[in-house]
Amino acid sequence: MKSHTIEAVEDESRAVSCSVWGLNDCGQLLNGEEQIIKHPTVLNCPKGIFGFVSGDFHTLLISDTLKLHCAGLNIYGQLGVHPSSLKEPSTPVLQDLPVFAPSSIC
C-alpha cells in the first residue's frame, strides 16, 4: 500500500492550513515522524504555502517565497539532496526553487 493524503484548506483570511493522513513510513507527511496517521491531522504548515505535490513516498510543499519543503523517501534524490546527506529519513528538507530569467532574443 502506497497511500498518503495532504489537503490544503484556506480560511476566510486566505491563510492556508494543511491536513495530512495515511502512510508515513518514510516521513512523507512532513511531521517529523514515521507513524501512520489514521485521521486527518492539521500539519504545522509553514506560512505562505500555495501548492503541494506528492509522490508514492514523498511530499513537497511550495511556498510563495519559492521554497520547497520536502519530506519522505529520498533513495533517488527525490527531495533534491544526495541520498546519503539525510541523517534521519523523516527530517524535512528545505530547498530553494531555481529562478529562471527569461532569455532575451535578438
State how far the Cα of 103 lies from the Cα of 85, in Å rounded to an integer. Answer: 34
Q: What is the pLDDT of residue 39?
A: 92
The answer to the question of residue 106 being in a domain is no
User: What is the span of the domain harbouring residue 49?
Assistant: 4-94
Q: What is the pLDDT of residue 1?
A: 46
State how far the Cα of 100 lies from the Cα of 11, in Å rounded to an integer. Answer: 32
The answer to the question of residue 81 being in a domain is yes
The answer to the question of residue 21 being in a domain is yes
Residues of the chain with pLDDT under 50: 1
In this prediction the pTM is: 0.75
Q: What is the pLDDT of residue 47?
A: 77
Q: What letter would DSSP give residue 100? A: -
The answer to the question of residue 50 being in a domain is yes
The answer to the question of residue 85 being in a domain is yes
Provide the number of structural domains found in the chain: 1
The answer to the question of residue 101 being in a domain is no
The answer to the question of residue 58 being in a domain is yes
Taking alpha carbons only, the member of 93, 75, 94 closest to residue 84 is 75
